[in-house]
Amino acid sequence: MKRLQPHRQRFLLLVLRLYQIVHTEGVWHLLRKLRRASSAQWSMTRQPRPQSVPAVDRPLTTQPQVLLVDQHLPTPDRDSGSLRQLNVMLTLQTLGLQVTCAAANVAAPSASHHLLAAHGIRCLSRPAVRSLAQHLATDGDRYQLVILSRADVASALLPSVRQHCPQAKIVFDTVDLHFLREGRLAELHPHWSNRWLATLRQRQELALVAAADATLVVSPLEQELVQAHCPHAQVHRVSNIHQIEGSATPCAERHDLLFIGGFAHAPNADAVRWLLRDIMPLVWATLPTLHCHIIGADPPADLRALASERVSIHGHVPEVQAFFAHCRLSVAPLRYGAGVKGKINQSLAHGLPVVATPMAAEGMFLIDEESVFIADTAPAFAAAIVRLYTDMNSWERLSRNGIRIMEQHFSVAAAQMALGQLINELRVPNAKNGNLIAQPSFLSPRHGESE
C-alpha cells in the first residue's frame, strides 16, 4: 500500500471506519450514530454557556503548564477512557503542573466543563477559543508539556504543536493501541476493509510514536510491541487509575451476573452478542434463574431485542455502584480489542470476581484461577461462570487477589509514580518531579461504563 500524507491517511481511515460500521452493524446504526453526534454538536453550539462557567476558567499560575487534548472532554460516567483521562490530569496536578484540557473541536458540554472546573482544571472552549489552531498560534509558547490523546487527534495536531509550542515536550497517549485492536478484528472477521484499516492504523500510530518526544501505553504487552517496532522511542506505561473500593457484600448475599461497557466501543457489542447467543444458553442449562444485567450507553437495536425475563438491557446508568455491590460476578467475553479493560478494573476494585477471555485479561497481571477465571470458547466460558457462581471458596480467593492486583498496578499511587518518572525523563522545567504537592479527589470506578 502506497504511503499517504497524514491528512489523506486520516480521511481514508474515516471512510474505512464508516464502511466498517455499515458492514458489521448496518446502515441504520451508522445513521443513528451520526444523528446523535450532530444533535450533540448542535446543542453545544446553540445553547449559551452558563455565566458560572466561563469559556476559559482558572487564571494561569506560575506552575509549569500542560495542555491535554482528546477527541472530546471527559465523560467519566460513560466510558473508562474518560475516567482514566480525568485521573491522569488530577495526577499531573499532584506533581506540580497546572492542567489545561480541550476537545479537538473545542466543544465543551456543560456537564464536562463543570466537572473540570470543580477539579481546578482549565478548559478551552468556544466562544473564547475559536479553534485549537488559533490557540496554539497565539498561546502555544506557554506550555512545557502537551499530551495528545488518540491517534487521530495526535496526527492532526502534532505538527502545529511542534511549530507553536517551542518549549513543550510532546507526548502521544495511545489510550490503547488502535492498530492492535483493528488487527484482531481483521483476524476475527477477515474482510478486506478490516485488513486495510489495521494496516493504515499501524502506519499512523508508529509514525506518531517516532515523531513524539514520548509515548504512553496502558499495558506491558503494548509497551513491548511499540518498542519492538520503535526501539529508540521513549515509551511509558500509564494504565487505568482507580480508587480501590473493596467488596461491600459477602458472596452469599449476592446474585446475578454483570456486563458493563459502552456500545460506542464496537468490541463490547460483539462481546454481548457472543455472551447472550452462545454462552448464556449453556449457563442457563445449569443455572436457569441466573439473571444478566447489561449496562452501557447506546446499545444497538439487535442487542435491545435480546432483552428478556433473564436479561436486562439497562442502557446508560450514571451510578453503577449498586451493581458492583450486589452482583455475584462480572464477565468480559471480549473477542477482540486492545489496551487494559476498564470493565475488569472496575469489577476487581470492588472485589467482584471476573470471568474473562485471554484477550480481555492480557496486560493486567492476572493469573488464571488465582485472580481471574480465563476461558476462550463458549463452552469453557459457560463452565467458568457456573463454577465461579457456585464455588464460594473460588469466589473469595478471586475477590481477595483481584483487590491486591488493583492496589499494586492500577492505584493512584502507581499512576503518580509512572507520571513522575515521565516528567523526570522529559525534564519538564520547574515541575515538582516526583514530589506530591496535593491530593485531589480522584474519581472512583463507581462513575462510569467501561471500554
pLDDT (tens digit per residue) in 337-351: 888 999 999 999 999
pLDDT of residue 5: 64
Task: Determine which helix (DSSP H) or strand (DSSP E) holds 446, and give its type and residue range.
Answer: none
Given a contact cutoff of 8 angstroms between Cβ atoms, the answer to whether 244 and 227 are in contact is no
Maximum alpha-carbon separation in the chain: 66
> Considering only CA atoms, which of 315, 338, 333, 336 is closest in space to residue 278?
333
pLDDT of residue 160: 96
Please tell me the least confidently modeled range out of 36-40, 65-69, 410-414. 36-40
CA distance linking residue 245 with residue 404, whole number of Å: 12
> Considering only CA atoms, which of 118, 5, 125, 120 is closest in space to residue 56?
125
Please tell me the least confidently modeled range out of 11-25, 54-68, 217-231, 404-418. 11-25
pLDDT of residue 57: 59
Mean pLDDT of 317-333: 95
Q: And the C-alpha cell for 175? A: 489510550
Q: Could you tell me the pLDDT band of residue 80, with boundaries at 50, 70 and 90?
A: confident
Write the CA distances from 36 to 21, 46, 71, 103, 342, integer angstroms: 15, 15, 16, 17, 24
Whether the predicted model's global pTM rises above the 0.95 cut: no
Q: Could you tell me the pLDDT band of residue 330, with boundaries at 50, 70 and 90?
A: very high
pLDDT (tens digit per residue) in 358-386: 999 999 999 999 999 999 999 999 999 99
% of the chain at pLDDT higher than 90: 69
Statement: residue 42 has pLDDT above 90: no
pLDDT of residue 440: 53
pLDDT (tens digit per residue) in 295-311: 999 899 999 999 999 99
Instruction: Provide the mean pLDDT of the chain.
Output: 87
Mean pLDDT of 217-235: 95
pLDDT of residue 48: 44
Residue 322 class from Cβ within 10 Å (0-12 exposed, 13-18 middle, 19+ buried)?
A: exposed
Please tell me the least confidently modeled range out of 177-186, 379-388, 401-410. 177-186
pLDDT of residue 404: 96
Statement: residue 41 has pLDDT above 60: no
Q: How many CA atoms lie within 13 A of 262 on its CB side?
A: 21
Statement: residue 283 has pLDDT above 80: yes
Q: Could you tell me the pLDDT band of residue 4, with boundaries at 50, 70 and 90?
A: low
Q: In one letter, which amino acid is 347?
A: S
DSSP 298: S
CA distance linking residue 140 with residue 148, whole number of Å: 14
Task: Determine which helix (DSSP H) or strand (DSSP E) holds 374, and give its type and residue range.
Answer: strand 373-374
β strands within 15-163, DSSP E: 65-70, 98-103, 122-123, 145-149
Q: State the Cα torsion 331-80-266-285 to the nearest 10°.
A: 10
pLDDT (tens digit per residue) in 140-179: 999 999 999 999 999 999 999 999 999 999 999 999 899 9
> Considering only CA atoms, which of 20, 64, 304 is closest in space to residue 165?
64
